[in-house]
Amino acid sequence: MRAFIIQCKGSAMRITSLIGVMLFFCASAFAQNENSISSITANQQGANVIVKVILKNPLEKTPLSFSIANPARISFDFANTSNATGKSAFDVGLGEVRNVNLIEVPGRSRLVFNLNRSLNYATLVEGNTLIVTIDGSGGIATPVNSLGLPAVEKTKTAIKPTLKDIDFRRGAGGEGRVIIDLPNNQIAVDPRLQGQKIVVDFFNVGLPEILKRNLDVADYGSPVQKISTERQGENVRMYIEPKGLWEHSVYQSDTQLVIEVKPLKEDPNKLTQGSQGYKGERIGMNFQDIDVRAVLQMLAEQGGVSIIASDSVVGNITLRLDAPWDQALDVVMQIKGLDMRKNGNVILIGPKDELLLKEKLELEQKAAIAELEPLKTESFQLKYQKADSLQKLFGADSTSSSSHNRLLSKRGSVMIDPRTNQLFVTDIASKIEEVRKLIQKIDIATKQVVIEARIVEADNKFSRNLGAKLGFADLRKMSGGDAGYQLQGNQRVAVTGNYLGVGEQTGQATITEKSFIPNTQFVNLPAAGIAGLDAGSFATSIFSAAANRFLNLELSALEADGDGKIISSPRVVTADQTPAHIEQGQDIPYQIATLSGGTAILFKKATLSLDVTPQITPDGTIILTVDVHKDSKGEETRGGPVINTKQVKTNVLVDNGGTVVLGGIYTQEERSDVTKVPFLGDLPLFGNLFKSTGKTNNKTELLIFITPKVQLTGSFVNQ
């Protein structure tokens, strides 16, 4: 037993020794991976500012870097590096560089260059020294070595790299994408705006003859109209000519450079047109084969959000971009096939299929829980709505089935009691809560609307009639003389108004008391009456001394002038979106023949009616669906009375308390009538004795006004 214990102690000692050795090697490895920044120096060469960052240990690779346009900054992140300078701020004051800040956080240190304006930069690593060259001229920066000379890479004698392909594609949103395939991801590219063109320079690269062409892409329906590519010495220059209102972005993924031109919809309420909804701070990125998770971390810090990347988000990315940080995030996700879910200030990023699968599993879990969750029953007392009106909503009527019910779960049910106006709902707690929220929204007092219509009929009538009667009588036969006028010998001629009158003068017909009234008239064209009234007349007679020869003349005239106005004002009160009807008038009977050969009496309405349905909009205005009838009894015919119909049917938007004219009918009738004796009625002046004239000028106007008012609860309308 004692030996066993000793042996165990020996094993324990060996294990302890092994752990100590492992900790020693781990500490040594950690010490080797740890680095520190010893000093920072800066000098100026022409327009360029050269900053040397000296570290304790050599750098294995160039630290991560990115730039921000506003404010103008360049940032470097040194992993597993501490600040050994003893300072956090360095005043530079050279060229466009104001100062440098060195911030140490657990696991890394960030070096920030504060600039006067956004500039390009280049880096070079020499052992434990990082040399940063900031080009103050605004052009492409060229890295320099520790001696201040341009860094020249040792290259093998090889063929000059050339652009592989230039392509154009139209996006789903109408954007134009110019896609350039580069020979490698180390090609220097300088995109910039030059007037209304986008100019892209490719440095130290050739252009095949097949790509030296002009592309007309106006037919694609994007802002891009033309693309032209040409050689510029040792470089290649591309011109992109857009049209209209647009914005562009440039990004590079590995060896593929994409220049995207998006159309902008002009908003008249904005002084300047935005950038398609991207509101983040603009940053410049130039990464070569960098871990995508490091890029996401950098974007999270820049945007002030928390980004949680799924474990399946892996791989490296080569990216060159100058855009707002949120647009940069979209570009990175698009390149790597990722998607995001946002909850407040936290963004979850992962592959699209993974996020969709996760959401599907969550929904299936919720559905499974709902199948096992106990049921509850709750009653709801309705205040304003009728319980019967909710039958179709819950699928409880005879025409609906439970499969059409979207409010309750599969196990849910509802019972409606019209007598007490209650609902009894049986379902899981979450569904009952949804029903409660729904009833709170729909079971509310409905606003009422007072609709007043005014129908105004105005008329102006003018009529004028003129006429004359002319007659001649010879009464010498009655006094014992000879009738008529002697022509020759015993031949005589009698003159009167008609055949009977001649016979009476010559003795061929018996003279009566009424003989001289109609039978002596040559012209009988008196003025017609108006509205049942006879025309006024003036008569005169020229006769002989013996009173046996008469020339009679009668002039008649009648003129009527009238103005009238009829105002009808129906008024009705109804609830919001509820039809209302008001009617006043009479039913007019008329007789029709039946199939049996007899007659029957039917009635036809001649009424004033108003049909209206109001709808109160959220902004307080009222939409009215109006149908106004103004019918009246007209003239009598053999088939019965005529019904004069006036109707307006329309939809109109009216302010609360405002008045609108729905419509109007204006009628004008002008008529001139002449009845005359041919030839004689055309004589000047004397022709008026042989004709009758009538003139009519009637004007009628119908106007319909309507005024809606929202009635407050408890108020009333004065009648």
Average pLDDT rounded to a whole number, residues 708-717: 66
Which of 384-393, 551-560, 692-701 is predicted least confidently? 384-393
Per-residue tokens: 113: 């260059």
Average pLDDT rounded to a whole number, residues 500-517: 74
Specify the 3-state DSSP secondary structure of 274. Answer: coil
Closest CA to 457 of 257, 281, 666: 666
Question: For residues 697 and 682, what is the distance between their CA atoms, to the nearest angstrom?
Answer: 24
Which of 56-60, 297-301, 639-643 is predicted least confidently? 639-643
Query: Would you list the DSSP string of 423-481?
Result: EEEEE-HHHHHHHHHHHHHHSSPPPEEEEEEEEEEEEEEEEEEEEEEEEEEE-TTTTTS
Q: What is the pLDDT of residue 402?
A: 43
For residue 280, pLDDT over 90 is answered with no
Question: For residues 648 and 628, what is the distance between their CA atoms, to the nearest angstrom?
Answer: 5
At residue 25, what is the residue type? Answer: F
The position carrying tokens 């992140």 is: 77
The position carrying tokens 């002084």 is: 271
Query: Would you list the DSSP string of 381-434?
Result: E-SSS-GGGGTTTTT-STT--GGG--SS-TT-EEEEETTTTEEEEEE-HHHHHH
Average pLDDT rounded to a whole number, residues 270-287: 64
Packing angle of the helix pair 325-336, 292-303 (nearest 10 deg)? 160
Q: Can you give 89-111 as a three-state secondary structure string? A: EEEEEECCEEEEEEEEECCEEEE
Q: What is the pLDDT of residue 364?
A: 85
Question: Contact, 651 vs 663, CB < 8 A?
Answer: no
Q: What is the pLDDT of residue 227?
A: 93
Question: For residues 328 and 152, what is the distance between their CA atoms, to the nearest angstrom?
Answer: 32
pLDDT bucket at 225, cuts 50 / 70 / 90 = very high
Q: What is the pLDDT of residue 373?
A: 83
Average pLDDT rounded to a whole number, residues 376-389: 87
Q: What is the pLDDT of residue 176?
A: 92
Closest CA to 331 of 256, 273, 239: 256
For residue 306, pLDDT over 50 is answered with yes
pLDDT bucket at 223, cuts 50 / 70 / 90 = very high
Kindly report the number of other CB atoms within 10 A of residue 549's CB atom: 14
For residue 182, pLDDT over 50 is answered with yes
- Give every CB contact of residue 549 below 8 A, 6+ residues apart in sequence: 473, 474, 475, 476, 543
Per-residue tokens: 423: 């609902």
Question: For residues 479 and 492, what is the distance between their CA atoms, to the nearest angstrom?
Answer: 17
Q: What is the pLDDT of residue 157?
A: 46
Specify the 3-state DSSP secondary structure of 718. Answer: coil
For residue 11, pLDDT over 60 is answered with no
For residue 243, pLDDT over 80 is answered with yes
Q: What is the pLDDT of residue 320?
A: 74
For residue 694, pLDDT over 50 is answered with yes
Pairing mode of beta strands 129-134, 121-126: antiparallel
For residue 9, pLDDT over 90 is answered with no
pLDDT digits (tens, 9 = 90+) for 103-114: 888 878 889 999
Q: What is the pLDDT of residue 476?
A: 77
Which of 148-162, 208-222, 693-707 is predicted least confidently? 148-162
Q: What is the largest CA-CA distance in the chain?
A: 196
Question: For residues 517 and 501, what is the distance between their CA atoms, to the nearest angstrom?
Answer: 10
What is the pTM for the complete model shown? 0.47
Closest CA to 395 of 435, 342, 441: 435
For residue 317, pLDDT over 70 is answered with yes
pLDDT bucket at 2, cuts 50 / 70 / 90 = very low
Higher-confidence position of 474 and 258: 258
Average pLDDT rounded to a whole number, residues 334-350: 87
Per-residue tokens: 31: 């010490």
Q: What is the pLDDT of residue 645?
A: 84
pLDDT digits (tens, 9 = 90+) for 527-562: 888 877 888 888 888 887 777 777 888 888 888 888
pLDDT digits (tens, 9 = 90+) for 17-33: 434 434 443 444 444 45
Closest CA to 206 of 187, 166, 234: 234
Cα 434 from chain centre: 31
Q: What is the pLDDT of residue 113?
A: 92
pLDDT digits (tens, 9 = 90+) for 618-638: 888 999 998 888 888 888 777
Length of the chain: 719
To 5 degrees, how large is the angle CA 226–CA 230–CA 236? 115
pLDDT bucket at 429, cuts 50 / 70 / 90 = confident
Which of 388-402, 464-478, 582-596 is predicted least confidently? 388-402
Average pLDDT, the chain: 81
Percentage of the chain lying above the pLDDT 70 cut: 89
Question: For residues 477 and 548, what is the distance between their CA atoms, to the nearest angstrom?
Answer: 9
To 5 degrees, how large is the angle CA 281–CA 287–CA 291? 100
- Give every CB contact of residue 655 below 8 A, 6+ residues apart in sequence: 620, 621, 622
Average pLDDT rounded to a whole number, residues 648-675: 87
- Sign of dihedral through CA atoms 218, 221, 223, 224? negative
Average pLDDT rounded to a whole number, residues 326-336: 85
Cα Rg of the chain (Å, integer): 53
